[in-house]
Amino acid sequence: MDRVALRGLKARGHHGVFPREREEGQTFIVDLMLGLDTRPAAEADDLAKTVHYGVVAEEVVAVVEGEPVDLIETLAERIAQQCLKHDGVEEVEVVVHKPDAPITVPFDDVTITITRSRV
Catalytically annotated residues = 98
- Classified as helix, coil or strand, 111 is strand
User: At residue 37, what is the residue type?
Assistant: D
Beta pairing partners, 90: none
CA distance 47 to 37: 13
Helices (H) and strands (E) in the chain, counts: 4, 4
Q: How far apart are CA 111 and CA 101, in angstroms?
A: 10
Q: Beta strand 2-13 with 91-97: parallel, antiparallel or unpaired?
A: unpaired
